Amino acid sequence: MEPTSFHLNTLWPWLLECRWAEPHWLWLLLLVPALAFLRGARGTGPAVAFSSLHLLRQISKPGRSAMGALSTALPFVTLILMIAAMARPQHVRTRETIDASGIEIFLAIDVSLSMSIEDMTLGNQTVNRLSAAKKVTRDFIQGRRSDRIGLVAFAGRPYVPSPLTLDHDWLLNTLSEQVKIGLVEDGTAIGSAIGAAARRLEGRDTEVKSKIIVLITDGSNNSGNLTPLDAARLAQTFGVRIYTIAVGTEGMHRIPLPDRSGRFLPGMRQEFDIDLMKQIAAMTNGMFFRAQDTRALEEIFKTIDTMEKTEIKRQTRTEVDEMFHVLVAAALATGLLGAALRLTAFREVPA
């Protein structure tokens, strides 16, 4: 059963792409039942009456009923095929290509231990900062299918789970699987993260209209070999615009240990270097945002999405394959077969 199912599943989309160029010819198919009725109707009486059919039985041997039915049906099959051929069946293939938007985006996401603080919500459930950030960036990626997007994650040092890509399905899977707390040593290397993203945007195609870094962090820079302002100057040199987002609430917070034991580190006070993040954004003609809850974070990404729009070129190509010749060939074959049967196995005597 599996091979049959496969062929049917393959054939069905192909049939959906078929159409009739001149479907009015199909009305002629209504004549086929009428002709079949007339063909089977009783004719006029015989011109010569025989008292017995004994002599006629000696003239020829009667054909088998199944073959006789085939001989009768072939002319109608030929007629149906010819009518269908006149209706010009066509197989239509439409292909749409979307050119890249000309916007390239690197999402730089903080995965330091403090991003596990649970002060955000999704629906009615309390979640940590990283889960909220990943949910909102996932929605952002899905809404920008024509942009090349890459990922930089950072804690004590940055790493690049994904280079710039248009394969957003793979990108979303990478976001889920490789942007995690604990994959690198703890810390907050904001400058190194900006530098890693900026260098991958350097020297891109001259047709790129906009190069962007969206930085999401909940702390102040305390790691890395590159200061945030030096990294911002580097990005400015490459023509990269940076949007900075400070995520999380102020005050004392408990941080869950990464071993999932349910234990917490002693309470710590949240530190935000707001002035630094504003400087980074202003230096690169970007913007600074503050997100203390998931809704605010969603609104921030909607704002960025609205600001970074460009014209997308779509090209639609339609290819049409004429199929009438297949039906004409089939009609010719059935017609010749019917004629051959009438001249041989089903020859009428007397003619």
pLDDT of 334 higher than 80: yes
The structural domain count of the chain equals 2
| Same domain membership, residue 240 and residue 206 | yes
What is the SS3 assignment for 176? helix
| Same domain membership, residue 75 and residue 205 | no
pLDDT for position 323:
82
Q: Which domain holds residue 71?
A: 66-89+323-351
Closest-CA residue to 288 (of 234, 209, 232, 239): 232
339 — pLDDT class (breaks 50, 70, 90):
confident
| Same domain membership, residue 193 and residue 139 | yes
Answer yes or no: are the C-beta atoms of 180 and 108 closer than 8 Å: no
| Same domain membership, residue 341 and residue 257 | no
11 in a domain, yes or no? no
pLDDT for position 103:
85
pLDDT of 152 higher than 90: yes
Distance separating the N- and C-terminal Cα atoms of the chain: 50
| Same domain membership, residue 126 and residue 271 | yes
Give me 137's structure tokens.
């960036």
| Same domain membership, residue 351 and residue 224 | no
What is the SS3 assignment for 216? strand
| Same domain membership, residue 226 and residue 273 | yes
| Same domain membership, residue 158 and residue 238 | yes
| Same domain membership, residue 272 and residue 130 | yes
The pLDDT tens digits of the residues spanning 255-300 come to 777 666 666 666 666 678 899 999 999 999 999 999 988 999 999 9
| Eight-state DSSP code of residue 316 | E
228 in a domain, yes or no? yes
pLDDT of 344 higher than 80: no
| Same domain membership, residue 282 and residue 265 | yes
| Same domain membership, residue 105 and residue 81 | no
> Whole-angstrom Cα distance, residue 297 to residue 216?
10
The pLDDT tens digits of the residues spanning 189-222 come to 999 999 999 999 886 555 677 899 999 998 889 9
| Same domain membership, residue 181 and residue 147 | yes
Task: Output 345 or 306, whichever has higher pLDDT.
Answer: 306
54 in a domain, yes or no? no
pLDDT of 39 higher than 80: no
- The CATH code of the domain that includes 200 is 3.40.50.410
The pLDDT tens digits of the residues spanning 71-103 come to 677 788 888 888 888 888 887 777 655 555 578
